[in-house]
Copies of this chain bind each other. A is one copy, B any other.
Amino acid sequence: MVVRAAVAGASGYAGGELLRLLLAHPGVEVGALTGNSNAGQRLGALQPHLLPLADRVLEPTTAEVLAGHDVVFLALPHGQSAAVAEQLGDATLVVDMGADFRLKDAGEWEKFYGSPHAGTWPYGLPELPGARDALKGSKRIAVPGCYPTAVSLALVPAYVHGLAENDAVIVAATGTSGAGKALKPHLLGSEVMGSMSPYGVGGGHRHTPEMIQNLSAAAGEKVTVSFTPTLAPMARGILATCNVKAKPGVSAESVRAAYEKAYADEPFVHVLPEGQWPATASVYGSNAVQIQVAYDESAQRIVVISAIDNLTKGTAGGAVQSMNIALGLDETTGLSTIGVAP
């Protein structure tokens, strides 16, 4: 069986990465590609690395263009997915790579995104407790944010196993592709190269409520999160440093054992051997997640560090993984755990 997939928003970084993966997926045929401001342009001019699609021309993002596909991926600005999805009907698998259907709490959605809440779809982070079951056979998938992917995979085991106190402190570094292709002065190469800088400090980043939702579900209580994202001089990758107070009785051994057990059967999440630390280069272009844990005895804190590729596991790879589950395919089809390094 080969499914036919359309991609709305094919000119951006998320759309481009998705196409890179779909072209390598044996069960998918790439159908319509749409853009808005770029409709009418050759994909070769916009995504010069996607040579097999260089002569494809972007169509406008309309329901007519997207109709007639088995799967439609939406890589649209937030607030636009609901209208498109409605027109596509229930027989089409719609995978939203934007934020619209991630949050359950309408109030949090409105506070952080400033628009009406569109609803909640099955959440495309299969490694979370219960997530795979919700994805199986689903016709709607909300792909997680890149930071929540890195952070939830790092901290959920600590909360599920009762190792961590509430009150998580998270600092993450992202490559610039996480900010998309928008033409903003601070994203110019001249500004970015050789520089680290924070943004959205103090609780303002939109991915914060999504992290809180995932960690709270794992903990069984509302978890407080203080999240600081930083922009690093690299194109891809997220390195998330997650720091939580340990509950009494926790030891380095019990932390390691919990994580090794949590991810023993996961195809994409690798708890590294002791002494080896995650590096974003190691997961470059791959769907793999590298995780390492440390117990800071002096501070009685657990430090969990995860590395992902923000565009692959953090966006497009996560989308394909969840699509595989929804369609009943092997979850790893078309996805690699091998990074492109050095």
Any B CB within 8 A of the CB of A328: no
Query: Which residues 38-78 of A sit at the B interface, judged by CB distance below 8 A?
Result: 42, 44-45, 47-52, 54
Contact status A340-B278, CB under 8 Å:
no
Contact status B342-A235, CB under 8 Å:
yes
Alpha-carbon separation in the docked complex, A126 to B232 (Å): 30
Task: Report A59 CB to chain B, min CB distance, Å.
Answer: 20
B-contact bits for A163-185, CB 8 A (1 contact / 0 none)? 00001010101011101010111
Any B CB within 8 A of the CB of A160: no
Q: How many residues of A contact B (CB 8 A)?
A: 94
Alpha-carbon separation in the docked complex, A341 to B201 (Å): 23
Residues of B within 8 A of A47 (CB): 341
Contact status A188-B185, CB under 8 Å:
no
Which of A16, A192, A285 lies at the interface centre, i.e. has the most chain B CB atoms within 10 A of its CB?
A: A192
Of B171, B196, B276, which one neighbours A237 at CB under 8 angstroms?
A: B196
Contact status A49-B301, CB under 8 Å:
no
Any B CB within 8 A of the CB of A84: no
Which of A169, A337, A341 lies at the interface centre, i.e. has the most chain B CB atoms within 10 A of its CB?
A: A341
Contact status B226-A243, CB under 8 Å:
yes
9-residue interface stretch from A89-97, A136-144, A290-298, A318-326: A290-298
Assuming the contacts A228-B243, A282-B49, A340-B20, asked whether A193 and B190 have C-beta atoms less than 8 A apart, the reply is: no
Task: Report A172 CB to chain B, min CB distance, Å.
Answer: 9
Contact status A279-B202, CB under 8 Å:
no
Contact status B196-A279, CB under 8 Å:
yes
Query: Which residues 166-222 of A sit at the B interface, judged by CB distance below 8 A?
Result: 167, 169, 171, 173, 175-177, 179, 181, 183-185, 187-199, 201-203, 208
Contact status A194-B237, CB under 8 Å:
yes
Any B CB within 8 A of the CB of A315: no
Residues of B within 8 A of A16 (CB): 341-342
Of B184, B191, B307, which one neighbours A342 at CB under 8 angstroms?
A: B191
Any B CB within 8 A of the CB of A18: no
- Interface positions of A (Cβ within 8 A of B): 13, 16, 20, 23-24, 42, 44-45, 47-52, 54, 167, 169, 171, 173, 175-177, 179, 181, 183-185, 187-199, 201-203, 208, 224-226, 228, 230, 232-237, 239, 241, 243, 245, 270, 272-273, 276-286, 288, 290, 292, 294-301, 303, 305, 307, 336-342
Q: Identify 21 residue pairs between A and B in the complex whose beta-carbon atoms are under 8 Å apart, listed by A's number.
A: A20-B338, A24-B336, A48-B290, A49-B284, A49-B286, A49-B339, A51-B288, A52-B337, A167-B299, A171-B241, A175-B190, A176-B193, A189-B191, A194-B237, A195-B280, A196-B232, A196-B234, A199-B277, A201-B294, A226-B301, A285-B340
Q: For the A-B complex with A48-B272, A48-B341, A49-B341 known, give 5 more contacts whose Cβ atoms are closer than 8 Å.
A: A44-B273, A190-B342, A198-B305, A201-B292, A226-B299
